[in-house]
Structure 1
Amino acid sequence: MADTTRRPGAWHNLGTVIAFEVRRTLKRRSFWAMTLAVPALMLAISALVIFSNGSAMKSVDASQRQQVPFTYTDASGLIDPTIAAKSGGTPTSDADAARAAVVAGKADLFIAYPADPTKQTIEVAGRDKGIAQPTDYAGIARSVLLASAKEKVSDAKLAGVLTGTPRVHELTYADGRVAPGVASVILPGAFLVLFYLAIIMLGNQMLNITVEEKENRVTEMILTTIQPTTLILGKLLALVAVGLVQTLVLIGPMLVLPGLIMTLLGANLPSSADLPPDALPSMADLASAINPPAIAVGALLFLGAFLMFTGLLVSIGAIMPTAKDAGSAFGTIVIALFLPFYAMGILMADPHGVASQVLTFFPLTSPVTAMVRNATGTLYPWETAVTLVLIYGFAALFLALGVRLFRTGSISYNAKLDIRKVFSSRRC
């Protein structure tokens, strides 16, 4: 009967904690500064990259439009003088003098075509214009030779095959269906990106869930009106709500980022009519890249990993007396998170080997490894089941441990909590 009367109060306290923590976090300028810094940095870097690429392309186009005058000798007899002249070429009979002029800086380019270009090397001597103004001298030599060879072939179709690059539309099949290829990795792999963003942006808040009150010496007063389980659960749910706010702030700019950058920079994108038939993916190709089971598993792994590392960081925070002491342990967690990337070659080459299995089932490396293998399609169903049970089991264990550590060591202000004292206590 007592439990029934206490339940409404407990739920009321839970809502109070959630509302207080969310309001307090969202009112902090540092929270918004860090949250908005990520999309702002993405916008700045993307704009800089696109602007630099656009400038580079314009520079390349300008250099291509500006002909480089050159002299050449033709021992093969394949070079068409008219085509060479249109490209800025002038024939010469004195190869040594033409080469010496380039060496002395008096000429830009000299090309010596051998008797058999299929077996012998074309000699190209050009004046160096520096790294900032690179010139494709070899490309000039090839284009003149290919254009001259194409002119000598009467069949236009045959000439196009010999001198061009045929377009090929490749399809691979698995289990009687078109395999989506690399595109199928994007959506399941997005959960791995979200997980890293959550840990990086919310890691300190996870760590300080229990430390802040201990540092401010207000724990005894709080615990006289609220149960430790309700307090930590409320803080955890508030943290999830804050994470959702940050996710929406990040996803919004990412959706409008490409169009905004194109508008700001005035980039002229080619129309679909100017592109090859196989340059744009069809609706069938896009549909085949969506793998609902892999996406569902990725979402479950992300949620379990978030809860597990939150419980772990809450437990660490409950042990440490100050945020400074707790922060030193955060580096170890980050190293464990990035450890699977150092073994990425093994995960790709031998996804079912001993090393991959260890990384998949070891609690601290399991979430990242499992999300990588799920995205790449190398996680077996039984491995998925074991991994999910493992991750959610440790999430529940760490959260329960964090509550018990906080209950036992909530007033341990000046020293680390003695773990032996916690487990020797009969209080639950």
Structure 2
Amino acid sequence: MKRHNLGTVIRFEFTRTVLKPKFWLISLSVPLLIAVVVGLVTISSQATANRADSQDKQTVSFTYTDASGLVDAAVAAAAGGSPVTDAPAARAAVVAGTSQCHVDYPEDPLSQPIAVQGQDLGLFDSGRYSAVASSVFSQSVAARIGDPKLAALAVNEPDVELVTYAAGTRTAGFAGVIVPGLFLVLFYMAVLMLGNQMLNVTLEEKENRVTEMILTTMNPTTMIVGKVIALVLIGIVQGLVVAIPAGFAFNLLTNAIGAVPPTDGAASLLGVPLDLWPALIGFALFLFSFLMFTGLLVAIGAVMPSAKEAGNAFGVVVMAMFIPLYAASLLVSDPHGVVSQVFTFFPLTAPVSALLRNATGGLYWWEAAIALVMLAGFGWLFLMLGVRLFRTGSISYSSRVKIGRALGWGGQQ
């Protein structure tokens, strides 16, 4: 019989997946869920900030003692404060419930805290006591200084706007992390969303007991490579489905709040600042990382007799993906240290480590080259191992394939 060619396998696997409504439902639900979560967090944060800002403007009935001599009686009175001389009695009145709040301003506010005691108004509303106590003290200090600007500077540090340049061109700063950092997010999503399909590249035929029939009409290498290429294309489609709406949403958000300043004509993608080389390196790392994990999961699927057993091994792979996140602060703060190097050049932790360092500008070009070669090499190795294991163990329907025997290490079968 005529063997199926590679294009036929790729087309069949790709169209079979992307034409399913379930694929688009899952893919589109991710950016929608992210948008809902971001919206809710933004609204909640704004409401919390507004509430915090309004707390120091509220009037609270309180007594106070002033060992520092800095509190202005008129300012305190306007906020609802009454001076007392017997601090223990005032605190006892709060405990007894006959007084709402008492504040003790210390002799040395620079080294001692302002002590506040008040009736419980709930977890958040009780914060008004501290806000009012701090506001009275700040306004009293401002009144002593006299100049409103000097008073503001004494209490609050001025905002600093940092602009950096590289080779005479203004860089994007933190905004430049967004595009290369997006590939790290897409890598996690691709593996987590397509992990089961990676395992099923070989498991599907084994569980359906059709491998013998398939192998009489198709080269196993052609079948597996075709399926892997189809998975890569599916991963790219899912990445675009997530990235494009995210880019538009970010553009609208930053335009609305003015969070990202213009970059003097620098390149941008959907309004997001774009540094070309980190973006290209990020894409290459994403692609080769995805291929390596796909090859690994294909090999695992070829060994296991069922999806249930393969799922346990998949959990270990996912754990390896998340290990670098626990060392993320070290990877960012000391990107060229020993730990960062080990994480970057160890196969299972290399994808996340290299993508994170690239996004934050801590990956040298030669380190990126080594990581890409390593990922490509291990990806090819895992894929060929999967093909060999599938070819020799395709009819092991009820037991795991013996890897050593499949590779010829244990003699002839």
Q: TM-score range by the shorter chain?
A: 0.7 to 0.9
Per-residue CA deviation, residues 312-331 of structure 1 (Å, 9 max, x unaligned), is 21122222222223222212
Change (3 A) 1:86 1:400: same
Change (3 A) 1:404 1:114: closer
Structure showing greater radius of gyration is: 1
Change (3 A) 1:39 1:188: closer
- 1:14 alignment partner in structure 2: 6
Q: Tell me how far 1:209 sits from its aligned partner.
A: 0.6
For structure 1, which runs of at least 5 residues remain unmatched after alignment? 1-5, 263-268, 273-278
- 2:157 alignment partner in structure 1: 165
Per-residue CA deviation, residues 392-428 of structure 1 (Å, 9 max, x unaligned), is 1222222233233323333332333333443349xxx
Q: Amino acid of the residue matched to residue 283 of structure 1?
A: T
Give the match's secondary structure for 2:407.
Answer: helix
- 2:397 alignment partner in structure 1: 413
Q: Tell me how far 1:41 sits from its aligned partner.
A: 3.4
- Would you say 1:225 and 2:217 are equivalent positions? yes
How far apart, CA to CA, are the structure 2 residues paired with 1:372 and 1:417?
Answer: 36
1:101 pairs, out of 93, 108, 115, with: 93
* 8 Å CA contact 2:170, 2:263 repeated in 1: no
Per-residue CA deviation, residues 28-87 of structure 1 (Å, 9 max, x unaligned), is 565455434433432443344234334434544554453112233456654444333332
* 8 Å CA contact 1:347, 1:356 repeated in 2: yes
- 1:39 alignment partner in structure 2: 31
1:368 pairs, out of 343, 348, 352, with: 352
Q: How many residues align?
A: 405
How far apart, CA to CA, are the structure 1 residues paired with 2:61 and 2:351?
Answer: 60
- 2:178 alignment partner in structure 1: 186
How far apart, CA to CA, are the structure 2 residues paired with 1:156 and 1:65?
Answer: 18
How far apart, CA to CA, are the structure 2 residues paired with 1:70 and 1:415?
Answer: 76
* 8 Å CA contact 1:337, 1:368 repeated in 2: yes
TM norm structure 1:
0.80
How far apart, CA to CA, are the structure 1 residues paired with 2:408 and 2:211?
Answer: 22
Pairs within 5 Å for 1:191-340: 191-255=183-247, 281-284=261-264, 290-340=274-324
How far apart, CA to CA, are the structure 2 residues paired with 1:347 and 1:119?
Answer: 36
- 1:71 alignment partner in structure 2: 63
Q: Amino acid of the residue matched to residue 358 of structure 1?
A: V
TM norm structure 2:
0.82
- 2:138 alignment partner in structure 1: 146
Change (3 A) 1:412 1:49: same
1:52 pairs, out of 28, 44, 59, with: 44
How far apart, CA to CA, are the structure 2 residues paired with 1:407 and 1:118?
Answer: 75
- TM-align CA RMSD: 3.6
Give the match's secondary structure for 2:235.
Answer: helix
How far apart, CA to CA, are the structure 2 residues paired with 1:200 and 1:132?
Answer: 38
- 2:385 alignment partner in structure 1: 401
How far apart, CA to CA, are the structure 2 residues paired with 1:44 and 1:140?
Answer: 35
How far apart, CA to CA, are the structure 2 residues paired with 1:353 and 1:162?
Answer: 40
- 1:3 alignment partner in structure 2: none
How far apart, CA to CA, are the structure 1 residues paired with 2:111 and 2:306?
Answer: 74
Change (3 A) 1:259 1:86: farther
Q: Amino acid of the residue matched to residue 383 of structure 2?
A: L
Q: Amino acid of the residue matched to residue 189 of structure 1?
A: G
Change (3 A) 1:113 1:237: closer
How far apart, CA to CA, are the structure 2 residues paired with 1:238 and 1:320?
Answer: 22
Q: Amino acid of the residue matched to residue 281 of structure 1?
A: P
For structure 2, which runs of at least 5 residues remain unmatched after alignment? none
* 8 Å CA contact 1:180, 1:285 repeated in 2: no
Give the match's secondary structure for 1:167.
Answer: coil
Give the match's secondary structure for 2:223.
Answer: helix
Q: Tell me how far 1:156 sits from its aligned partner.
A: 4.4
Change (3 A) 1:356 1:221: same
Change (3 A) 1:241 1:167: closer
Q: Tell me how far 1:195 sits from its aligned partner.
A: 0.9
* 8 Å CA contact 2:116, 2:130 repeated in 1: yes
Q: Amino acid of the residue matched to residue 20 of structure 1?
A: F
- Would you say 1:387 and 2:379 are equivalent positions? no
Per-residue CA deviation, residues 325-360 of structure 1 (Å, 9 max, x unaligned), is 322221222222223233435434543344333332
Q: Tell me how far 1:212 sits from its aligned partner.
A: 0.6
Change (3 A) 1:15 1:150: same
Q: Amino acid of the residue matched to residue 341 of structure 2?
A: Q
How far apart, CA to CA, are the structure 2 residues paired with 1:354 and 1:120?
Answer: 42
Q: Tell me how far 1:199 sits from its aligned partner.
A: 0.7
